[in-house]
Amino acid sequence: QVQPVESGGGLVQAGGSLRLSCAASGGTDRNYVMGWFRQAPGKEREFLAAITWVFGSTYYSDSVQGRFTISRDTAKNTLYLQLHSLKPEDTAVYYCAEHYKFDVRITKWDRYDSWGQGTQVTVSS
């Protein structure tokens, strides 16, 4: 099992786009799910999106549906989060995480088993 590792964060202007990546464990376990969360200063960790690794089923938070897209490349064992139409309120540390509970609709952060160290996304106005 590989510890998730995020990359791709940075500074972007409002309205811009960014793609985050996360090195994942991958594999063929049908219960394996990966998700993206974010945490802004003084706020709780917020679920954004999740994907089942084998089947590619996705689930999104209402707050990012239509602006963010989660995907994975199983050949590269890499998870992605494409961010579009960024707003200053999207500024946060973005984390990828994983669990082996099959359910892509799990949104509570404490149900995830393993976490990356996070990558900072800053959106300037």
Q: What is the pLDDT of residue 2?
A: 75
Percent of the chain at pLDDT exceeding 90: 92
Q: What is the pLDDT of residue 26?
A: 83
pLDDT per residue as tens digits for the range 16-25: 999 999 998 8
End-to-end CA distance of the chain: 39
Q: What is the pLDDT of residue 28?
A: 85
Answer yes or no: is pLDDT of 1 > 80: no
Joined together, the tokens standing for residue 45 give 């960790």
Q: What is the pLDDT of residue 25?
A: 85
Residue with tokens 């089947």: 55
Q: Is the dihedral of CA 77, 118, 39, 113 positive or negative?
A: positive
Answer yes or no: is pLDDT of 65 > 70: yes
**Residues sharing a CB contact under 8 Å with residue 50, sequence separation 6 or more, in sequence order:** 33, 34, 35, 36, 58, 59, 70, 104, 105, 106, 107
